[in-house]
Structure 1
Amino acid sequence: MNIGDVARRSGLPAKTIRYYEDIGLIRPKRSENGYRSFRESDLHKLAFLGRARALGFTIEDCRTLVALYEDEARESAQVKHIAEEHLRQIDDKIAQLQSMRATLDKLVHACAGDHRPDCPILEDLAQETSDPATCE
């Protein structure tokens, strides 16, 4: 298969596939003229990577997950540890986003939104704080 075929079948853009090759996540064969030749195993690995990336795993996590997938002597505990750490990071991000939303909601409701120049939103943004999610 050429890169266009594998892009269509995997659902990944050709640019992403080239990037994955550049960083060593996939290694398609090359013909004498230098064209990539993808095998079914490459397509399967690209689908795996696409799903892992859609779940938010980092490139390095993907590299580790692919290696574990290909290692028949792997321990599922290793995979679970990676997934649990990623889940913890997602939970942290959700908490940060909820805090940001609560703060912004409070500011929006405090602003009259009329023709006067005073604005609690701008006043809050002008404060010197290290964490915008905790501004009050």
Structure 2
Amino acid sequence: MRIGELAARTGLSKDTIRFYEKNGLVAGERLANGYRDFAPETVSWLQYVRTAQTLGFTLAEIARTGEQLRDAPDSAAALSKMFEEKLRVVDERMAELAVLREELDARVGSGCPLRATAR
């Protein structure tokens, strides 16, 4: 299918698909007339990409794990492992943000960003 049809079927813009192609997330074959031709399974792959982005995975992670998932005999177990790792990262980030929040809260009303107020 051509890029316009792929865009219509996925809800993505042609520019987004071109960006993904440039970064190795999708591959279109060039026809003799210069048009891109994408395999039908590209639709489900792009839906996966969008869902993974929504879940906080970067495009680099998606590209790397996509290859792993295609080769994994049990993709459900592989996905669960990836989600557990992402949860660990999110928990770490939440802890860091909680510390940052406390630091900012301690400086409220101090008039100086370098001094915490005594509370």
TM over 0.5: yes
Letter of the 2:69 counterpart: Y
Mapping 1:1-136, distance limit 5 Å: 1-71=1-71, 73-74=73-74, 76-108=76-108, 111=109, 120-121=110-111, 123-124=112-113, 126=114
Identical counterparts, % of pairs? 33
Q: Which runs of 5+ in 1 are unaligned?
A: 112-119, 128-134
Could you tell me how far apart the structure 2 residues matched to 1:84 and 1:55 are? 12
Counterpart for residue 130 of structure 1:
none
CA RMSD of aligned residues (A): 2.5
Deviation of 1:55 after TM superposition, in Å, equals 0.8
Could you tell me how far apart the structure 1 residues matched to 2:100 and 2:13 are? 33
- What is the aligned length? 117
Larger Rg: 1
Deviation of 1:90 after TM superposition, in Å, equals 1.0
Secondary structure at 1:73 match in 2: coil
Q: Which runs of 5+ in 2 are unaligned?
A: none
Is the 2:6–2:43 contact (alpha carbons within 8 Å) kept by the matching residues of 1?
Answer: yes
- Kindly tell me: are residues 99 and 47 of structure 1, through their superposed partners in 2, closer, same or farther at Cα, counting changes over 3 Å? same
Is the 1:68–1:79 contact (alpha carbons within 8 Å) kept by the matching residues of 2?
Answer: no
